[in-house]
Chain A
């Protein structure tokens, strides 16, 4: 019995060794949840492109999960060559907590290392029965709002900051009115799902809520898959520019000797072919030429960035989402 197990183990080891020794390079991309479909397409295109250029076959493996969870896995030893996460805060932690990437990681690729962007929009039920037009309407009495929990979901943090930034802009930077608006919105939230997909399910399948606050790419996907006879997208007057950043994980690519190919992989996202796929999967492309072709999908919105309004992610996280922050105050029992 023991001999048989040993033989099996040897065989497996040999199999693994063969797979490695075949001249095939493999790359692990740790990403967040809603990018599954996007990277399926991007990976297939990149593999073809890379083989045509260099003759080597590359095998790209994906790991998906909540953005924060993925960052923690990489810090704790998941040997991802590249990360493509939902927000810069999670990537920054790879430096702050794990020293896996240099401090200046965000300047290494153009556009803040975010090859695609998105924004936050509303999905309402067909005919918009509650007449929702802008962020103020979400705080009205009798409107039920679905958004995930900012403490556990990266997407939910974008939703929250979008509302906050809108109120600041409307009232000349007055923090009190921003707080009031955000308080009012969360008073109307009956369920705080732990992730963005969970909220989409609550709204679409469970039929709860009048309006879903969501990533634009999730909203477009929802409306396209469920048919336009059930839901409508409402675009607010002002929203946030969500920049999901990508970077190579220096310590891991140096260990695997995959720095060149990992860099090429991320640059591919900025190429015309990559940008076309990005737009096809409802993310806003950086390339203007591609953006023009998909202008119908992406209406013009006044967008602000986290850096402009909140002074960067680290600061926004600390003020708003850490324990005892502004978000927690909404739910503190009143004395």
Chain B
């Protein structure tokens, strides 16, 4: 530690690290400890009974499943949007750029209401889709769409700066050395943006897991079918069952933490294997 500190130009490692701990402690660790403590007021068997009830299981499936699909969609199309924004200059580019951030700014309840109105059976999009036999509002598909909407900015905004930094001469070098377009993309561009892409994916996924405001409008909240975990937590609170609510929250938290941690580890392993410095 001292060896590292000595080589730094700017001093203050100790001060900044202690501040980091205090800051994270106050904002993240203490509330989470409270959550865990509250859930221990349930007995062990009661905890599992709450956490593994058929309704809870159905809601985990929907919450994790829909969040994964939405984050996946955003990874693919977000990359495309980022590419277009970085590599091309076209009229209306500033507008597209601003549109990307809109899901951040819009209150999620407004987003939920708007999407529901749009995709309901009498909505602009719901009606033609309904004629094709596709129902969106009040189905898991509607949940996926709402989650994709709110997660859109994450991938775009994490990939964009990395793409912008990627010098085009690397691509030219690849082309000169005889790489096909596909090879250039797969071997040269993709590995460099992969970490940012994975980060964006993880952020979008994490954001989707916690989303409540927009989903309660579009999902229809049918037990066993379109109930997300946050809704189930709210129904527990309606019964003043604080401990039961925290039990579900603890499950969510551990699962999300596990997923995010393993994505990060996987990414480190991948970068090492590809020979990037960690």
CB within 8 Å of B: which residues of A?
A: 68-69, 72, 93, 96-97, 149, 151-152, 190-194, 198, 205-208, 317, 321-323, 328, 331-333
Contact = CB atoms under 8 A, between A and B. Distances in A.
Contacts of B238: 68, 151-152
Contacts of B223: 192, 328, 331
Given A152-B231, A198-B217, A333-B224, A206 B116 contact: yes
Contact of B138 (A93, A149, A190, A332): A190
Given A207-B122, A208-B121, A317 B138 contact: no
Contact of B240 (A72, A191, A198, A208): A72
Interface string B87-129: 0000000000000000000000000000011001111000000
Contacts of A198: 216-217
A178 B239 CA distance: 23
A206 B239 CA distance: 30
A331 B235 CA distance: 15
B61 to A, nearest CB: 13
Contacts of A332: 54, 224
B221 interface: yes
B172 interface: no
27 contacts: A68-B238, A68-B240, A93-B240, A97-B240, A149-B221, A151-B235, A152-B221, A152-B238, A190-B220, A191-B138, A191-B220, A192-B221, A192-B222, A193-B220, A194-B231, A206-B123, A206-B137, A207-B122, A208-B120, A317-B239, A321-B239, A323-B53, A323-B236, A323-B244, A331-B55, A331-B222, A331-B224
Contacts of B240: 68, 72, 93, 96-97
A152 B237 CA distance: 9
A205 B240 CA distance: 32
Contacts of B120: 206-208
* Residue with the greatest number of chain B CB neighbours at <10 A, chosen from A68, A322, A323, A332: A323
Nearest to A324: B53
A317 B121 CA distance: 34
Nearest to A332: B54
A328 B222 contact: no
A191 B222 contact: yes
Interface of B: 50, 53-55, 116-117, 120-123, 137-138, 216-217, 220-224, 231, 234-241, 244
Contacts of A317: 239
Contacts of B235: 149, 151-152
Given A68-B238, A332-B54, A193 B221 contact: yes
A106 to B, nearest CB: 18
A74 to B, nearest CB: 12
Q: Which 8 pairs between the two chains have the least Cβ-Cβ distance?
A: A331-B223, A151-B235, A191-B220, A206-B120, A68-B238, A192-B221, A207-B122, A194-B216
A277 to B, nearest CB: 30
A317 B120 CA distance: 33
Contacts of A323: 50, 53, 236, 239, 241, 244
A96 B238 CA distance: 14
B182 to A, nearest CB: 46
A194 B142 CA distance: 16
A68 B231 CA distance: 14
A261 B55 CA distance: 47
Nearest to A198: B217
A151 B54 CA distance: 16
Contacts of B55: 328, 331
B237 A68 contact: yes
B224 to A, nearest CB: 6
A207 B144 CA distance: 23
Nearest to B50: A323
Given A68-B237, A192-B223, A317-B239, 9 more contacts: A96-B240, A191-B220, A193-B221, A194-B234, A207-B121, A323-B53, A323-B239, A328-B55, A331-B222
A186 to B, nearest CB: 9
A318 to B, nearest CB: 9
Contacts of A93: 240
A191 B54 CA distance: 20
A307 B222 CA distance: 29
A192 B220 contact: yes
Residue among A192, A322, A328 facing the most chain B CB atoms (10 A cut-off): A192
Nearest to B217: A198
Contacts of B237: 68-69, 72
B137 to A, nearest CB: 8
Contacts of B53: 323
B54 to A, nearest CB: 6
Contact of B221 (A68, A72, A191, A208): A191
Contacts of B224: 331-333
Contacts of A96: 240
B149 to A, nearest CB: 19
A1 to B, nearest CB: 19
B96 to A, nearest CB: 31
A201 to B, nearest CB: 8
Contacts of A322: 239, 241
B121 A206 contact: yes
Nearest to B54: A333
A149 B221 CA distance: 8
